[in-house]
Amino acid sequence: MSDAARPEPGSPENGWLGAAARLRERRQPGVLVTLAKVRGHAPRAAGAKMVVGARETWGSIGGGSLEAAMADRARAMLDGPCGQPELVEFALSDRASHEHGVQCCGGTATVLLEPLPVPPAVAIFGLGHVGLELARILARHDLDLYLVDTRAEQLAEERLSVLADSVARVHAHHAPVLPEAALDELPPGCHVLIMTHDHAEDAALCDAALRRDGFATIGLIGSAAKWARFRKILAEEGGHDSASIGRITTPIGLADITGKEPATIAVSVAADLLRAFQRAEHISESSQALIS
């Protein structure tokens, strides 16, 4: 970053708020640390904040052993499932010895540590009737939402205006020639949903997705007849074995939610995705419990 582009000292971009925004943009986890309550004397007043990342901290809750101990605790949270907030009591007394030394202000601090997790990512290839309805639902959640289509009109600003108040971060990508190239721009752990207007395009995307690692799930919309044809193409022309082809889930959505209306299909697919998000969180928590 040039000096001209570097945030001014004391600016929001240089503090905890800017740091939280940058971590979110980079899809990196962090922990927001807040001095929630102070009894007696402390180096900072209640409300002071800092953000702790894997290697850096931004902002301050007062320095000294308090800040160092809370940074350690925050990084321990980052090494775990990073799920639930924590309240920590910290004595600022010469009678209380801590790993990073004594801080003898004479008071007691209550510190709130709140995880800033990396949100899920979902890519929808094909913004037809179902794709747009699905985008409208998913946009109400904290996630990164990638919308890819070969047809510019499907991504027109007026058509996507229904997503203007999104909670999600929406990334629209027009890929007129090789939509499968957009797969390389997706973050690790992304959920890929293939539902374009063209079966040949769907087949090319399935083949390309199977040649890449790191996707959480790959889903394909369509009938059993379409999938039987795709399986043959992927095996005979794509050279994929059964285990690789098995990475693709089709049909997508919850089996007990029936109906062919775009909104119904979208609700079913969204519900299944939310279940997948929760399953991933549970697996992360279980794995950390085993490690601990």
Judge whether 101 and 69 are in contact, CB under 8 Å. Answer: no
Sheet with 217-220: list strands edge to edge: 169-174, 144-149, 121-125, 191-194, 217-220, 248-249
Res. 201: pLDDT tops 90: yes
Res. 6: pLDDT tops 50: no
Alpha-carbon 201 to chain mean position = 27
Q: Which pLDDT band, with edges at 50, 70 and 90, does 93 fall under? A: low
Instruction: Indicate the pairing of strand 121-125 with strand 191-194.
Output: parallel
The strand pairing partners of 94, in sequence order, are none
Average pLDDT (50-71) is: 90
Average pLDDT (195-214) is: 96
C-alpha–C-alpha distance, residues 21 and 24, integer Å? 5
Judge whether 160 and 188 are in contact, CB under 8 Å. Answer: no
- Does the pTM of the predicted model rise above 0.85? no
Length of the chain: 292
Judge whether 249 and 216 are in contact, CB under 8 Å. Answer: no
- Of the candidates 46, 16, 17, the residue with the CA atom closest to the CA atom of residue 110: 46
pLDDT at 142: 95
Least confident of 175-179, 187-191, 244-248: 175-179
Q: Which pLDDT band, with edges at 50, 70 and 90, does 106 fall under? A: low
Which residues lie closer than 8 Å to 248 by C-beta, 6 or more apart? 206, 209, 210, 218, 219, 220
C-alpha–C-alpha distance, residues 124 and 182, integer Å? 11
- Of the candidates 252, 270, 281, 235, the residue with the CA atom closest to the CA atom of residue 133: 270
Res. 141: pLDDT tops 50: yes
pLDDT at 208: 97
